[in-house]
Amino acid sequence: MQVNISTRHGQLSPASQETISEKVSKLTRLFERITGVEVTIDLEHTEKPEVELRVTAERTEDFVATDKAESLLAALDSTIHKMEQQLRKHKEKLKAHRGKGTASADAETNFES
């Protein structure tokens, strides 16, 4: 999984970039098909930084979550929480989409006989 961190209106320290990368890389626990993550941090308003998280996964459209908070890490945690909810919901949709299988077809043919 590839993680890209970009910043608008400022710069982040290497320690902050490493912390962000570690937190974001844990998203693969929820959904294995993640191929890339883009983290965009807007520091235009330093009192309320904005974090945007865009996750790219195989065979699906991108997932996007944004949030503002009093600190950078609080905004990041909130954005990651929103992304986790989206990934869980998508994974449940994939599981619920499975077909009924042949057991129900056998039951119907036995009923008609």
4's tokens: 């890209």
Q: What is the mean pLDDT of the chain?
A: 88
Total-model pTM: 0.81
**pLDDT at res. 107:** 54
Euclidean distance between CA atoms 79 and 74, whole angstroms: 9
CA distance 5 to 19: 11
pLDDT at 12 over 90: yes
Q: Which residue would you say has higher pLDDT here, 41 or 102? A: 41
